[in-house]
Amino acid sequence: MISSEKNFAWYKSLISKNMSYMEAVHSLKKRYSAVGKPYFYKENFENVVKGDDVKLRKRRKNSKKGLYIHHILEKEFSNLSSKSGIKNNKIVFESKKEELFSNQVEYFVTQIPDNLVFCDVLEHMILHAKSSYEFNGQGKEGYLALRGKCKKMVSNCTRRSC
């Protein structure tokens, strides 16, 4: 198979209804290397959650060229990469944590490498679409933002004729 056909088959399998959100996450974990470190620095994250007036600092060294990092637990809690999202989700986390994990689990679990996955822009959009479909609209905001990003990429590409 030539590579564009391979790519098409890959995206098609990812989109398929036979593949659940978590199965898609696992396929992406197999496709790319594991994310090495938590998304944010723990102390900084906890200070933001506490309400300190500090800037939320993302760990830049985690990034891989051209790839995004998706928060897998966005199927439960929205916008885990934004300051307002993190602050708003703290209460929801406390109410759901026993059912989802155990009472000992800290909110920072949403940011640890096990709960992160690399993906390209299309894969990221597909993950958010699946999450929204399977989990009651959870992740829909991300889906709409990524859809807009994809649209922009297409129009830029057409203008530059790439």
Q: Which residues bind Zn ion (CB under 5 A)?
A: 70, 142
Q: Please, which residue, 38 or 142, has the CB nearer to Zn ion?
A: 142
What number of residues does the chain have? 162
Q: Please, what is the minimum distance in Å from the beta carbon of residue 145 to Zn ion?
A: 9
68, containing H or E segment: strand 68-71
Q: Please, what is the minimum distance in Å from the beta carbon of residue 29 to Zn ion?
A: 14
Q: Please, which residue, 87 or 140, has the CB nearer to Zn ion?
A: 140
User: What would the two tokens of residue 31 be?
Assistant: 């496709």
Q: Please, what is the minimum distance in Å from the beta carbon of residue 119 to Zn ion?
A: 8
Q: Please, which residue, 106 or 120, has the CB nearer to Zn ion?
A: 120
31 φ, ψ (degrees, to nearest 5): -70, -40
Q: Please, what is the minimum distance in Å from the beta carbon of residue 63 to Zn ion?
A: 14
User: What would the two tokens of residue 139 be?
Assistant: 């992740």
Beta strand residue intervals within 99-143, DSSP E: 116-119
Q: Please, which residue, 47 or 108, has the CB nearer to Zn ion?
A: 108
> Which residues, 6+ apart, have CB-to-CB distance to 62 below 8 Å?
35, 36, 37, 39, 69
